[in-house]
Amino acid sequence: MTTANFSASVDGGEVLVRIAGEIDLANAAEVQQRIHAVITNDAIRVVLDLAGLDYLDSAGLHVLFTLAERLRLLQIGLDLVVPPGAPVRRVVELSGLAPVARVLPEQGQRRSS
């Protein structure tokens, strides 16, 4: 079974979600459910830290695009932290996520807004 390690924290209006392991068809629905569960009505920005993610397939990309659309409707910003050396960096770059989420090389580069 595919596993994704998941941790989340809330700091003011920012929700930080760290996902490590893999997101694929076997666990995409669970990952999506867990992400949505930690986003409160008080959130103004969601930061997904994907630095520890080893694998992301089309089902995982669907989770990210669905989240981006949901957050856009709620007027909540979305940042994806994907370092240049991360295994999923190329997938994220080629997917076309940049117009719907800010893709940052490290977590320290995010900004509040």
Q: Which residues contact 9 (CB under 8 A, 6 or more apart)?
A: 15, 16
Q: What is the pLDDT of residues 28-39, one digit of tens each?
A: 999 999 999 999
- In the numeric block, the tokens 């920005």 are attached to 45
Considering the chain, what percentage of its residues have pLDDT values greater than 70? 94
Superfamily classification of domain 4-107:
STAS domain (3.30.750.24)
At 109 the pLDDT is: 54
Contact between 69 and 38 (Cβ < 8 Å): no
What is the Cβ-side half-sphere exposure of residue 15, based on CA atoms within 13 angstroms? 23
* Mean pLDDT value across residues 78-100: 94
Residue 110 in this model has a pLDDT that exceeds 80: no
- For the entire predicted model, the pTM comes to 0.90
Q: What is the pLDDT of residues 39-84, one digit of tens each?
A: 988 999 999 999 999 999 999 999 999 999 999 999 999 999 999 9
Contact between 81 and 75 (Cβ < 8 Å): no
At 113 the pLDDT is: 42
Domain locations in the chain as residue ranges: 4-107
The mean pLDDT of the chain is 92
